[in-house]
Amino acid sequence: QVQVVESGGGVVQPGGSLRLSCAASGFTFNNFGMQWVRQVPGKGLEWVAVVSQYGSLQHYADSVKGRFTISRDNSKNTVSLQMNSLRADDTGVYYCAKEGTEHISSYLDYWGQGTLVTVSS
Amino acid sequence: DIQMTQSPSSVSASVGDRVTITCRASQDVSYKLAWYQHKPGKAPKVLIYEASTLQTGVPLRFSGSGSGTDFSLTISSLQPEDFATYYCKQAKSFPHTFGQGTRLEIK
């Protein structure tokens, strides 16, 4: 069965860096784009980033562009989100999710349980 | 960027009620819209994709309609497990964007 599992969350000071990882299994990983979505405490879901099947295309939310980098390693079935210059408003639960079709820019059919990132001094 | 506006922001309803949530896009997203259910502490779950296609395993009481800029999600007969927050999300162009969410509460 399809599984998506995030890791790497934690507490970091403003201006610091953190790297999130997402391990996927149960499907042909390099056939699907992968996305990150976050939920800020007390607020709704916010789309963060996407990476295409072979990593050649990435897109980002305006709020993280230039600070976050999404990448993937198809040999290990993993997706990463490198987060630099973190701010307090980056605090939240970060979800990794699989795209539902073999075309980048799709709905998300499998999600992980999320990993909590707290940016605080 | 495409803005997604949901209404209402919250709704109180009883088991057995019919509820409709609407989502409006600031520009044409064709049929590239999905609806997600999110419960506290859980992973979001897709209910409807491509505006009106029911995801496998989702109960038939959920349905979606619309295209272009106006969409709706209807729950025909609310069940206790349906009380959650619902989000629409466009996948027409990047950056993808979510609506602000509709919190469905028990009356």
Searching chain A, which residue's CA lies closest to the CA of residue B51?
A: A107
pLDDT-wise least confident of A22-36, A97-111, B51-65, B89-103: A97-111
Rounded to the nearest integer, the mean pLDDT of chain B is 97
Searching chain B, which residue's CA lies closest to the CA of residue A45?
A: B98
Nearest to B6 by CA among B66, B86, B81: B86
State the pLDDT at residue A33.
96
Q: What is the pLDDT of residues A23-43, one digit of tens each?
A: 999 999 999 999 999 999 889
State the pLDDT at residue A72.
98
A15/chain B closest Cα distance in angstroms: 24
CA angle, residues B102, B92, A49, in degrees to nearest 5: 80
Residues of chain A contacting residue B99, judged by C-beta atoms under 8 Å apart = 44
Residue B84 has pLDDT above 90, yes or no: yes
Measured distance CA(B6)–CA(B71) in Å, rounded: 9
Residues of chain B contacting residue A97, judged by C-beta atoms under 8 Å apart = 44
- The answer to whether A116 contacts chain B (CB < 8 Å) is no
B98/chain A closest Cα distance in angstroms: 6
